[in-house]
Amino acid sequence: MQVVTTPSNLLLKVNESFHFLIKVFDKHGKGIPSSEVKITKVIAMDRAGYVREDNGDYHFDDLTNNTSYDGNHFISYTNKDGELKVKVSDPHGIGVRTFFKISADDCVSKEISVVFSVPTSPKSVYAKMYGHMPDFISVNNLKFYRPTLSTERTGDQVNHYLNEDWAKFTWYNAEEFCKSRNLRLPTKEELLDFYHIHSGNDLLSNYGWPIVDRFNSAWSSSAIRNMYFHDPLHFYVDFLNDKMDKEIVSDALVVFCVQDS
């Protein structure tokens, strides 16, 4: 049995698919028609190495016999030339590496692994899932960097969203964090410009950044003095509710560090 995959590099996004071309032949190299081919999910693992049972069904399109199936096990048959073409996708994937076993007539088998990455996890060794979230977005000659995972830098609060834990920081810790990366906090004007181009819904839907309830207000560097507080109040922008306001420095908010281009 020969198994050819297209593309050969099986690192895909959840909205993509790959093709199996499975050839079953006898000892003389002649194709065996009507050979029973099974494709079975052996195990699925996240980037951290844990077994996952919550990934959802795979979708199999049998291009040879014009049928389709959703599940973890697929059975079909080769054509008169001993070939079977199957397209596989992971429409409900959560960002795992899946190991498939392909067997023919329960006699010969081969294993392959494929990754379907998700936009809601970054491509980072610290992420729990396999992802392709962009690390930054450029606006007005500034690079705005995504929020940080709590495994990348411990924050003052943690917000869990779609299998990842995201850090929030008090203002002074936010400032120190950005400086430690040779970056800085944006001014309120820069943050507002970023918001007007990329609202919270846009950041989540099109970039996978986890701007959701309780993780939607981001610090700026801009401050104002208030006679009732020892420390200055700092401005923040609410990316879900179209609002800019002031906050005390001990509250924990989202951080978008920026870099001047």
At 119, is the pLDDT very low, low, confident or very high (cuts 50, 70, 90)? Answer: very high
- What number does CATH give the domain 134-260? 3.10.100.10
pLDDT at 228: 73
Q: In DSSP terms, which residues pair with 160 in a beta bridge?
A: 165
pTM for this model (two decimals): 0.94
DSSP β-ladder status, 142-145 and 258-260 = antiparallel
pLDDT in tens, 17-68: 999 999 999 999 999 999 999 999 999 999 999 999 999 999 999 999 999 9
Which fold does the domain 2-119 belong to in CATH? Answer: Immunoglobulin-like (2.60.40)
pLDDT at 187: 98
Per-residue pLDDT, averaged over 123-145, amounts to 98
Where are the chain's structural domains?
A: 2-119, 134-260
Please, is 148 exposed, middle or buried when counting C-beta atoms within 10 Å of its C-beta (0-12, 13-18, 19+)?
Answer: buried
pLDDT in tens, 85-118: 999 999 999 999 999 999 999 999 999 999 999 9
pLDDT at 236: 98
